[in-house]
């Protein structure tokens, strides 16, 4: 057979009949029948949308014109995923051609499936245990991923048995070892990922997020990219990206479709098959995260484009809060955003966000100035009234509102200031109506002391909150299960208007416990002592411990900086977690960002939970984003009873927690020891 070298680019540029004219004039093809096979034809739709629409149209016209003429026998066979059939309408004439010659590949029969399992091994001198053949046939399902999963499982089995037996023999034992048909591919990919360093795992996450994606509702779309582009997005050296790509493209892995030869800056990387996106669970999570991030960015970009044309206003409130949280979490770059638009669009989107935040800051300052101006105006008007009766009425009204009439405010979270809760993240009525948990703080008068705090649901009804930390619980656990039933906390003050009692109640109005503070005139202004009183009204020190009461050291702002555990004689003693005292640090908003267990001499110590330090990062609304544990030396450590180093939270736009996931110190997913799950997702209605 003679070989003919075809310059396909030159043929494309001749017009729709270019291929026909070439074949007709080729001396090497007299009387021959030409068959053109186009595999994975669905890639043409992505190429047309993102890269070169004109070239894609010319290519399809060439294929259609070549099979339409009758002078030269030219046949075209295309393979395409059936879920892309509807996309054919973008090419003129293609739907009709596909309808006339469509052939849907049938499912393998039992005999064909058996031959596909045993045949390759026999060719290379191996054999397949009949029990394994039956097991594979029984496990083989009907969805489109079954053949790629079978292929990968057989490859893994062959690699395992080839290294251990001669002649190679595929067995059920090895099949169970690799995880079966359903988990072999995902387990294998996780093995490769776990062999990488933490820095390499981060590059792998960036790389696969770039190579996978969502398109028109599909989350299994391949998106090839060059090594140089991935290196820019990951802020890494090209050699580092190449090392990670090499780990995933080895012949016994084949997770990446890469041209043969050494990898270079312009080498195009691609996911080997869409089934990897669907079946590798970690990659599926990454794609979900990338899709959500892209959706938020596109919304910001589209709104910024309208804003630039004076067709939209700057963002405030919830929209701006979501965008800010996204920016802090993702730290997007122009290189990342080029996948979803131009660099100029990204620059405009960031300009829009900056302008929105600046406008909100100015609006808050203006509103504050307006309130102060109105207050000054009210005072001048009050003094300007000629009637003493009018002045008296106004004075009584102001006093009533400021000092007597109860005033309710709602918050996302709270911090205790000298024993009294202070709200974090104020909420509007609309926000409260969409939240599963909010904190309602009631004061006597608009600026008076706090009377009570109550945990409420979206309808304003009492619900179970997260509890008020007193120091009797230890650093991580509650004093007893009854505390989990607390829904309302009431506060009583002494003659100096300092808190004297904190009484917690359950949903039936029954007292759960009381925290009684020592008289304020007997102590320094920045120190208070408190005792725990049980349901029956008697002192309730912790059973099995010498701890009888606690004392608090306050910062200048009134935050509890150190909680000391004392015995009946007032001497330092270990509390519930075996620490003698607990140190806390706060951010500017009042969120506790660090809790450190201290020993009797004030040095850091590992408590009964196994850690000495617990760090928490927060967003501006008072939502915990991540929680991490460290030992006395400052090194990451997994909690003894919980089984994790890092706890990560996710929230919806109203602040409801929708996701919770656990990781070890190497960012690997781990199970939450008490419930035996890695990640939980919550749905709120």
Q: How many residues does the chain have?
A: 685
Q: Rounded distance, CA 568 to CA 588, Å?
A: 36
User: Same domain for 153 and 89?
Assistant: no
Quick check: 342 pLDDT over 50?
A: yes
Quick check: 471 pLDDT over 70?
A: no
Label residue 412 by pLDDT band (50, 70, 90).
Answer: very high
Label residue 73 by pLDDT band (50, 70, 90).
Answer: confident
Residue 664 located in a structural domain: yes
Whether 468 and 504 have beta carbons less than 8 Å apart is answered as yes
Report the pLDDT averaged over residues 598-603: 91
Lowest mean pLDDT among 151-165, 306-320, 583-597: 151-165
Label residue 124 by pLDDT band (50, 70, 90).
Answer: confident
Q: Rounded distance, CA 172 to CA 423, Å?
A: 60
For 20-34, how does the pLDDT look when each residue is reduced to its tens digit (9 = 90+)?
777 776 655 666 788
User: Same domain for 456 and 539?
Assistant: yes
pLDDT given at position 2: 41
Quick check: 377 pLDDT over 90?
A: no
Residue 260 located in a structural domain: no
| Exposed / middle / buried, residue 216 (Cβ in 10 Å: 0-12, 13-18, 19+) | exposed
Q: Give me the chain's average pLDDT, please.
A: 84
Residue 481 located in a structural domain: yes
User: Same domain for 406 and 361?
Assistant: no
Report the pLDDT averaged over residues 267-291: 88
Q: Rounded distance, CA 509 to CA 2, Å?
A: 94
Quick check: 391 pLDDT over 90?
A: no
pLDDT given at position 200: 94
Residue 553 located in a structural domain: no
Residue 139 located in a structural domain: yes
Residue 282 located in a structural domain: no
Whether 625 and 619 have beta carbons less than 8 Å apart is answered as yes
> Higher pLDDT residue, 567 or 627?
627
pLDDT given at position 347: 94
User: Same domain for 374 and 399?
Assistant: no
Lowest mean pLDDT among 108-112, 125-129, 210-214, 392-396: 392-396
pLDDT given at position 4: 45
Q: Which letter does DSSP use for residue 577 in this model?
A: T
> Which of 75, 101, 127 is a domain's end point?
101
Label residue 513 by pLDDT band (50, 70, 90).
Answer: confident
As a whole-number percent, the residues of the chain with pLDDT over 90 amount to 29
User: Same domain for 510 and 415?
Assistant: yes
> Higher pLDDT residue, 223 or 524?
223
Which ranges constitute the DSSP H helices of 309-342?
317-330, 334-337
Label residue 548 by pLDDT band (50, 70, 90).
Answer: confident
For 188-246, how does the pLDDT look when each residue is reduced to its tens digit (9 = 90+)?
989 999 999 999 999 999 999 998 876 555 556 788 889 999 999 999 999 999 999 99
- How many domains does one find in the chain? 5
Question: Which residue range forms the structural domain that includes residue 88?
Answer: 8-101
**What is this structure's pTM?**
0.49
User: Same domain for 469 and 536?
Assistant: yes
User: Same domain for 401 and 539?
Assistant: yes
pLDDT given at position 56: 86
pLDDT given at position 106: 81
Quick check: 490 pLDDT over 80?
A: yes
Whether 206 and 234 have beta carbons less than 8 Å apart is answered as yes
Coil, strand or helix at 583: strand
Strands (E), 371-429: 406-417, 420-426
Whether 348 and 308 have beta carbons less than 8 Å apart is answered as yes
> Which of 330, 365, 384 is a domain's end point?
384
Pairing status of strand 256-257 against strand 225-226: unpaired
Report the pLDDT averaged over residues 495-518: 87
Residue 294 located in a structural domain: yes
Label residue 274 by pLDDT band (50, 70, 90).
Answer: confident
Contacts of 388 (CB under 8 A, 6+ apart): none
Quick check: 180 pLDDT over 70?
A: yes
Of 180-189, 253-262, 373-382, 593-602, the range with the highest mean pLDDT is: 593-602
User: Same domain for 405 and 543?
Assistant: yes
Quick check: 479 pLDDT over 50?
A: no
Label residue 598 by pLDDT band (50, 70, 90).
Answer: very high
Label residue 390 by pLDDT band (50, 70, 90).
Answer: low
Whether 412 and 321 have beta carbons less than 8 Å apart is answered as no
Q: Beta-carbon neighbour count of residue 291 at 10 Å?
A: 16
User: Same domain for 333 and 376?
Assistant: yes
Lowest mean pLDDT among 77-91, 371-385, 554-568: 371-385
Residue 649 located in a structural domain: yes
> Higher pLDDT residue, 10 or 620?
620
> Which of 170, 189, 208 is a domain's end point?
189
Lowest mean pLDDT among 39-53, 192-206, 259-273, 346-360: 39-53
Quick check: 301 pLDDT over 90?
A: yes
Query: Taking Cα atoms as reference points, which of 1, 130, 19 lies closest to residue 69?
Result: 19
> Higher pLDDT residue, 292 or 148?
292
Label residue 478 by pLDDT band (50, 70, 90).
Answer: very low
- What would you report as the CA-atom Rg of the chain, rounded to the nearest whole angstrom? 34
Report the pLDDT averaged over residues 491-499: 88
pLDDT given at position 33: 81
Quick check: 456 pLDDT over 50?
A: yes
User: Same domain for 402 and 495?
Assistant: yes
pLDDT given at position 470: 57
User: Same domain for 355 and 407?
Assistant: no
pLDDT given at position 3: 45
> Higher pLDDT residue, 377 or 27?
377
Q: Rounded distance, CA 558 to CA 517, Å?
A: 15
pLDDT given at position 477: 38
pLDDT given at position 476: 43
Quick check: 174 pLDDT over 70?
A: yes
Quick check: 1 pLDDT over 50?
A: no
pLDDT given at position 570: 81
| Exposed / middle / buried, residue 516 (Cβ in 10 Å: 0-12, 13-18, 19+) | middle
User: Same domain for 412 and 428?
Assistant: yes
Q: Rounded distance, CA 494 to CA 520, Å?
A: 8
As a whole-number percent, the residues of the chain with pLDDT over 70 amount to 87
For 626-639, how does the pLDDT look when each residue is reduced to its tens digit (9 = 90+)?
999 999 999 999 88
């Amino acid at each position: 057979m003679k070989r003919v070298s075809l310059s396909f680019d030159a043929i494309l540029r001749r017009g729709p009949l270019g291929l026909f004219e070439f074949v007709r004039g080729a001396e090497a093809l007299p009387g021959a029948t030409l068959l053109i096979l186009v595999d994975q034809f669905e890639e043409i739709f992505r190429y047309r949308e993102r890269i070169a629409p004109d070239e894609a149209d010319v290519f399809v016209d060439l294929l259609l014109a070549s099979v339409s003429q009758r002078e030269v026998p030219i046949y075209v066979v295309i393979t395409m995923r059936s879920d892309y059939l509807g996309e054919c309408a973008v090419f003129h004439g293609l739907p009709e051609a596909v309808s006339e010659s469509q052939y849907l590949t049938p499912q393998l029969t039992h005999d064909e499936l058996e031959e596909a399992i045993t045949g390759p091994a026999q060719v290379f001198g191996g054999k397949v245990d009949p029990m394994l053949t039956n097991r594979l046939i029984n496990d083989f399902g009907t969805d489109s991923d079954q053949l790629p999963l079978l292929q990968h499982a057989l490859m893994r089995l062959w690699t395992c048995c080839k290294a251990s037996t001669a002649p190679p023999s595929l067995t059920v034992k090895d099949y169970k070892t690799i995880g079966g048909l359903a988990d072999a591919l995902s387990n294998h990919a996780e093995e490769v990922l776990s062999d990488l360093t933490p820095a390499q795992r981060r590059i792998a996450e960036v790389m696969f997020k770039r190579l996978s994606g969502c398109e028109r509702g599909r989350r299994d779309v391949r998106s090839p990219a060059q090594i140089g582009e991935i290196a820019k997005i990951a802020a890494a050296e090209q050699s580092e990206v190449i090392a990670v790509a090499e780990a995933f493209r080895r012949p016994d892995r084949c997770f990446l479709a890469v041209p043969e030869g050494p990898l270079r800056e312009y080498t195009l990387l691609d996911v080997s098959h869409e089934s990897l996106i669907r079946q590798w669970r970690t990659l599926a999570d990454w794609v979900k995260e990338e899709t959500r991030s892209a959706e938020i960015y596109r919304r910001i970009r589209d709104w910024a484009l309208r804003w630039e044309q004076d067709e939209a206003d700057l963002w405030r409130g919830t929209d701006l809060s979501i965008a800010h949280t996204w920016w802090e979490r993702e730290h997007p770059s122009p290189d990342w955003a080029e996948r979803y638009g131009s660099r100029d669009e990204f620059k405009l989107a960031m300009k829009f966000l900056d302008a929105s935040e600046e406008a909100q800051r100015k609006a808050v300052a203006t509103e504050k100035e307006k309130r102060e101006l109105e207050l000054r105006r009210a005072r001048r008007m009050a003094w300007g009234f000629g009637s003493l009766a009018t002045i008296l009425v106004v004075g009584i009204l102001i006093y009533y509102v400021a000092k007597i009439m109860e005033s309710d405010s709602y918050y996302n979270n709270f911090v205790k200031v000298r024993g009294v809760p202070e709200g974090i993240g104020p909420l509007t009525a609309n926000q409260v109506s969409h939240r599963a948990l909010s904190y309602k703080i009631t004061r006597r008068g608009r600026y008076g002391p706090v009377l009570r705090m109550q945990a409420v649901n979206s309808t304003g009804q009492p619900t179970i909150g997260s509890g008020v930390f007193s120091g009797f619980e230890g650093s991580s656990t509650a004093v007893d299960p009854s505390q989990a039933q607390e829904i309302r906390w009431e506060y009583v003050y002494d003659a100096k208007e300092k808190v004297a009692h904190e009484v917690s109640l359950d949903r039936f109005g029954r007292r759960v416990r009381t925290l009684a503070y020592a008289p304020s005139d007997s102590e320094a202004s920045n120190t208070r002592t408190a005792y725990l009183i049980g349901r029956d009204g008697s002192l309730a020190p912790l059973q099995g411990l010498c701890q009888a009461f606690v004392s608090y050291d306050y910062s200048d702002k009134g935050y509890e900086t150190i909680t000391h555990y004392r015995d009946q004689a007032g001497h330092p003693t270990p509390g519930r977690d075996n620490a003698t005292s607990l140190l806390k640090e706060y951010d500017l908003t009042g969120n506790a960002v660090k809790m450190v267990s201290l020993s009797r001499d004030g040095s850091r110590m590992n408590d009964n939970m196994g850690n000495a330090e617990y760090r928490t990062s927060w967003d501006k609304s008072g939502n915990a984003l991540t929680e991490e544990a460290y030992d006395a030396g400052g090194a990451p450590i997994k909690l003894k009873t919980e089984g994790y180093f890092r706890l990560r939270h996710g929230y919806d736009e109203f602040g409801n927690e929708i996701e919770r996931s656990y990781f070890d110190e190497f960012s690997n997913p781990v199970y939450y020891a008490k419930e035996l799950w890695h990640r939980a997702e919550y749905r709120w209605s």
